Amino acid sequence: MPIKVTSENFKKEVLESELPVIVDFWAQWCRPCLMLGPIIEEIAEDMAGQVKVAKINVDEEGYLANQFRISSIPTVMLFKGGKPVSQVIGLLRKEDLIKRLGL
């Protein structure tokens, strides 16, 4: 199950995570984001213990969206060791998303 990340828990859940973290930047009104949701949940299930999966609602967390220059959603970023290492913009199939993120 993806973790809801906010400005309050971002450092602990993403930057200080032992595991790589997939972060899904999304919004409730974004149709492609809603279509990506089940794919993100599937990745969280399939890769439990290997990666952590987090979701950031850009409407609620504008500061984080700005900090990572999120201009289009859905945007999915992979963080390793507290640093963003890859980014995918748009709706992709699960296999393509995993490959593009470098997992």
30 is catalytic: yes
Catalytic residue among 3, 19, 27, 30: 30
Report which secondary-structure segment, H or E, holds 14. none
Residue 56: what residue type? I
Catalytic residue among 14, 21, 33, 92: 33
Could you tell me the strand order of the sheet in which 83-89 lies?
A: 3-4, 52-57, 21-26, 75-80, 83-89
33 is catalytic: yes
For 36, phi then psi, to 5°, come to -75, -25
The terminus-to-terminus CA distance of the chain in angstroms comes to 18
* Residues with active-site annotation: 30, 33
